[in-house]
Amino acid sequence: MVRRFLLAASLLLAPSLAHAEWYEASSKHFVVYSDDNPDKLKAYTARLERFDQTLRFLTGTPDKPLSPMMRVHVYVLANVNELQRLYGRSGPAGWFEGRATGPIAFVPKDDGNGALDAQTILQHEYAHSFMFSSWPSVVFPKWFVEGFAEFVGTAFYRTGDDTLVIGKAPEYRAYGIDRVAQMPAERMLQLDPKDKEIDTQTLYGRGWLLTHYTILGGHSKELASYIQALNEGKSVEEANKAFGSLGQLDAKLNAYGARASLPTITVPAGKVQVGDVTLRKLTAGEASTMKARMWSTRGVDEERAKMVIGWARQAAAAYPNDSGAQNELAEAEFDAKNYAASEAAADRALAADPGSIHALLYKGMAQQEIAKAEKSTDAARWKAIRGWFIKANKLDPGYPQPLILYYESFGEAGQPVPKVAQDGLIGAYSYAPFDNGLRARVGKVLLEQGNLAGARIAFEKIAYGPHPDAANNVALNVLKAMDSGGKDAALKVIADAEAKAKKAEEDAKNKKKTD
């Protein structure tokens, strides 16, 4: 009864966005949505683009062609409280997620309280995506992954001349910056420093200090030699020699961090080219469904799916010919497992916009779920389903999701996966190397193909990734198995992990049925 009341109360919130004027600002690497002042939105998007271009300028990274779908889609919410309701718990002032479906970010207008604000979080997390996209085959130790993100994450625009300043100390890491006893260089420089939760502040803080020390303190050659040695397969101990005595390194870092002031990088306005930022007012249907769209984009569980579908149906009902509104309805219906309704909404979206990649994918996905439920083995039917993914791929060859769905469709149909689908998945990985789930799948495919060197590159990024979880441990075990038993041993580790995950999922479903 309480759940029903809360669900009904939540539905009352949906119309609050119906009359808001929403705008979309687009640049080469970002798409930002906000109901704020359009000029302010355009300026904000230009600054995000300038941040990206500055990273490319400073690192010498070329600006490659990018699928429009793979730009970072940033949603600006009214305040931190609204953002945290969307997130599902209190804590963050904003967040970013790199996905093969397209990177997303959520930020509040008020930017939160404290030094770790939404802009810093966005810049920090975007730095991860930039690093993994720019150097997809290079393994970086955790201290540098986080240290680099902290180093550029605190970038700010100086009042008066709009100069971008990089290298400011992260005040929110002050607790960990000088805690050498908790994170000495000998431990920090390991690929897997076994950082417990209590050490997070220290790893990030000391990582920032060592990054600053190497980049702006005149020790970039030592950093380059260290990373090169790690990627040449040398032991950590051998790579660490690039820094000399680690005990002395700790003392040098402490002395460096104790300076009255540290150098920064200043990039004046006009130093990099931002390019065009275009502004578009969203249609009435798009604006009406924006709340549902943000929640769908965030991701929903079963309970939230029920809530969002109510919002989407109510908001989209008045706009049957609006592609944006019907696209959101198709996604919400799909998340709520109403697959026939999802396909019908996708058809309406396609009638309004035949080139809508989102609608093409959801039509195929909905048909696939219906075919699965009917246990269809009709080869022609499955070929037709894949046709929607193929059509989407032809419209945007650089977008990973159609290639992923094409690959997955064979497993869903209980059919062997042909090499063309495997190669397509590997191609998707080249467009979204920052997505660990995709990396893991590709790593398995490469193992099955006997490409152990490629599989190692895929799994190393996960194993030594910045945020330890079960996936890191599985990837690390895969690498160990490759070293001790080769391809078959590594594949067994993956099979065991998949079986364990499947059982956990089934147990959770059974428990829910009995509750």
- Tens digit of each residue's pLDDT (9 = 90 or more) over 138-152: 999 999 999 999 999
Nearest alpha-carbon partner for 447 in 334, 404, 34, 439? 439
Measured CA to CA, the distance from residue 408 to residue 404 in angstroms comes to 6
Angle (nearest 5°) at CA 506 between 501 and 509: 130
Query: In which region does residue 68 sit, left (phi positive, over 0), alpha (psi from -120 to 50) or beta (all else)?
Result: alpha
Entry pTM: 0.91
Question: Rounded to whole angstroms, how far apart are CA atoms 364 and 243?
Answer: 54
Task: Give the model confidence (pLDDT) of 352-378 as tens digits.
Answer: 999 999 999 999 999 999 999 999 999
* Cα 109 from chain centroid (whole Å): 21
- The CA distance from 88 to 85, in Å, is 5
19 pLDDT band, cuts 50/70/90, is low
Token readout for 405 is 């769905």
pLDDT tens string 388-429 = 999 999 999 999 999 999 999 999 999 999 999 999 999 999
Which one-letter amino acid corresponds to residue 120?
A: T
The two three-digit tokens of residue 216, written as one number: 């702006």
Q: What is the pLDDT of residue 177?
A: 87
pLDDT above 90 for 349: yes
Task: Kindly tell me the sign of the dihedral angle through the C-alpha atoms of 501, 507, 512, 515.
Answer: negative
CB distance 206 to 179 below 8 Å: yes
Q: Which residues contact 125 (CB under 8 A, 6 or more apart)?
A: 95, 96, 97, 98, 105, 149
Nearest to 36 by CA among 71, 78, 74, 72: 78
| DSSP reduced 3-state for 327 | helix
| For range 53-72, the mean pLDDT | 95
* Residue 448, burial from CB neighbour count under 10 angstroms (0-12, 13-18, 19+): middle
pLDDT tens digits along 230-260: 999 899 999 999 999 999 999 999 999 999 8
β-sheet bridge partners, residue 26: 31, 278
